[in-house]
Amino acid sequence: MRIPSTRLLFVPCLLALAATPAAAAGQQDAPAPREARIKIDLDRTIGEVHPHVFGHFAEHLGRMIYGGIYEEGSPLSDADGFRQDVMAAVEALDVSILRWPGGNFASGYNWKDGIGPKASRPVRVEGAWNALESNRFGTDEFLRYAERIGADPYICINLGLGTIEDARHWVEYTNESRATAWADARRRNGRDAPWNVKYWALGNEIDGPWQLGHKNADDYAKVALEAAKAMRTVDRDIKLVANGASNFGADWIGWNRTVLRALRNHVDYIALHTYVNNRDDDVEKFLGGWSRRIEHYIDTTAAQIREAQAGQPDPRPIHIAYDEWNVWYRAFEKEQLEEIYNAEDALAMGMFFNVFFRHADVVKMANLAQMVNVIAPIMTSREGLFLQPTYFPIVEYGKQRGNLSLDAWVSGPTYTIAPSPVPIQYLDVSATYAPATKDLFVNVLNRSRDRAITARVEHQTGDLPPEAAVWELHPSDLKATHTFGDDRKVRPSTRTVRIDSAGDGFSYTFPAHSLTILRLRLP
């Protein structure tokens, strides 16, 4: 995930947030609402919102690991060195799957440096971020941490400077139950039972010239194929993730096509990476332009998966793992990527999740990069932590994991972003349904900077409850940020509203630059 200056041209941009809803508050300072329609049909399902869409990423970069989730000797840490205050905040995120150790770091990492007695582990200069790596947090520490927070571990092997043999040994160390050299090494290091790591990435961003061990598509596909075969000789049940596009300024379509054709019978996912920004200080362009671009990346890759599978009588299912995504553009190496997020950035979380939900049939994993301190929703000091504005939408959207994504029909006011003449809806909508509880969620991002929009929310069968639960994020200052001791400026409000339904729907006014989640328990 390293982005030197030469890569800035390729990095996506996104984000915006909410203002006080004039209609709800009875104020008249906003333009008059305009009517729109959001139509929900429970039979029009897209796919399951997989729990792994609510994954995160932990790289050996800056203070993500050391001083973030792990701080030996701190009064805030437990006997394992894990920061307990951070763990509580992470547990509220309900992280489903945690990717480690990188990122760019992975392409120069020797996992064997990070096992065994800590006093004998070597200190190395790592090549991705030019930092000293103590190796005091290694494989067993990571797997113990993932176990503690209830997340599935997801390990990225080194296919930059590493070898296939190293990758095979790593799977043996974590997953082998028999008495072998590397399984016995795990036992000597305190873990008798296998860790049973199921998810493995075949390298990180090898398409990028910034990456240690960068390769062209053909060369990557060859080494990834052999690594996949070797790793599965140790554990045939593991799930493998191929490197898809991260360098969108190059021939990313050609890269994906080559990789999918070579690995279509061996991998379970192809990874995409996207970072977005609002350098133009235009919230409507930020939230609309990047949403359209991310959908293009997903739709194109999904079509390439179908192309690679065409003609095979029993093709292997392949899904998309969006295993690096976030807003990032202000903080780079000098600031150790410690991005300070604002209210606009919080809105962008809704933009990402709405896109993922609308593609729930193919996007089956997504990992926010990263979890603590480094472009993260949680920031720490030696004394404590604060929650960034982006934290709260992540928590709320996470309550929809396992639901069925619905193909909502939307009409209403639109706008365009030059030079494209293609209109973009101001209302960015996704919807999900939980059959067990009959809970219907309607997620609405109003991208308009100034315009509250009234929409008629229609249910195909006409069955509606008498009230709806509302979660809404709409701060008056889109540039508001948080810091230590002051992290309440950008917080969601919750309330229950009566539904004055007429026929099969009801009207609701979505404030300008806001993110709203309506929850209705259907009869």
Predicted confidence at residue 3, as pLDDT, reads: 44
Sequence-distant (≥ 6) Cβ neighbours of residue 425 within 8 angstroms = 410, 411, 412, 413, 414, 447
User: Which residue from 378, 347, 337 is spatially nearest to 103, judged by alpha carbons?
Assistant: 337
Q: Would you please indicate which residues are annotated as catalytic (active-site) residues?
A: 205, 324
User: Which residue from 106, 154, 99 is spatially nearest to 128, judged by alpha carbons?
Assistant: 106
Predicted confidence at residue 504, as pLDDT, reads: 84
Sequence-distant (≥ 6) Cβ neighbours of residue 67 within 8 angstroms = 373, 380, 382
Predicted confidence at residue 13, as pLDDT, reads: 31
Predicted confidence at residue 393, as pLDDT, reads: 98
User: Which residue from 489, 494, 500, 501 is spatially nearest to 517, judged by alpha carbons?
Assistant: 494
8 pLDDT above the threshold of 50: no
Predicted confidence at residue 1, as pLDDT, reads: 55
518 pLDDT above the threshold of 80: yes
Sequence-distant (≥ 6) Cβ neighbours of residue 311 within 8 angstroms = none
Give the strand pairing for 378-380 and 385-387: antiparallel
Sequence-distant (≥ 6) Cβ neighbours of residue 101 within 8 angstroms = 58, 59, 60, 109, 111, 142, 155, 156
State which H helix or E strand residue 305 sits in: helix 283-309
Predicted confidence at residue 475, as pLDDT, reads: 84
457 pLDDT above the threshold of 80: yes
Q: Cα(140)–Cα(144) distance, rounded to whole angstroms?
A: 6
State which H helix or E strand residue 276 sits in: strand 269-276
- In tens, the pLDDT along 77-108 reads 999 999 999 999 999 999 999 999 999 999 99
At 380 the three-state DSSP class reads: strand
26 pLDDT above the threshold of 70: no
388 pLDDT above the threshold of 80: yes
State which H helix or E strand residue 326 sits in: strand 319-327
- In tens, the pLDDT along 327-336 reads 998 888 778 8
175's tokens: 């997953």
Residues in the chain: 523
pTM: 0.92
- Of 501 and 371, the structure prediction assigns the larger pLDDT to 371
Mean pLDDT of all residues in 32-61 = 92
Q: Taking all residues of the chain, what is their mean pLDDT, rounded to a whole number? A: 92
- In tens, the pLDDT along 335-369 reads 889 999 999 999 999 999 999 999 999 999 999 99
Domains in the chain and their CATH numbers? Answer: 22-44+407-521 (2.60.40.1180), 50-400 (3.20.20.80)
Lowest mean pLDDT among 29-38, 137-146, 230-239, 258-267: 29-38
The values of phi and psi at residue 414, to 5°, are: -130, 170
Whole-angstrom CA distances from 461 to 291, 411, 469, 522 are 30, 19, 20, 10
Q: Cα(188)–Cα(166) distance, rounded to whole angstroms?
A: 19
448 pLDDT above the threshold of 70: yes
Q: Cα(370)–Cα(324) distance, rounded to whole angstroms?
A: 8
- In tens, the pLDDT along 397-417 reads 999 999 999 999 999 999 999
- In tens, the pLDDT along 291-331 reads 999 999 999 999 999 999 999 999 999 999 999 999 998 88
CB 327 within 8 A of CB 59: no
User: Which residue from 219, 227, 214 is spatially nearest to 165, judged by alpha carbons?
Assistant: 227
Query: CB atoms < 10 A from the CB of 511, how many?
Result: 25
- In tens, the pLDDT along 459-516 reads 988 789 999 999 999 989 999 999 999 999 999 999 999 988 777 899 999 999 999 9
State the pLDDT confidence band at 4, using cuts at 50, 70 and 90: very low
Mean pLDDT of all residues in 123-140 = 96
Lowest mean pLDDT among 146-155, 215-224, 459-468: 459-468
DSSP 8-state secondary structure symbol assigned to residue 113: G
Q: Cα(152)–Cα(52) distance, rounded to whole angstroms?
A: 9
State which H helix or E strand residue 320 sits in: strand 319-327
Predicted confidence at residue 14, as pLDDT, reads: 29
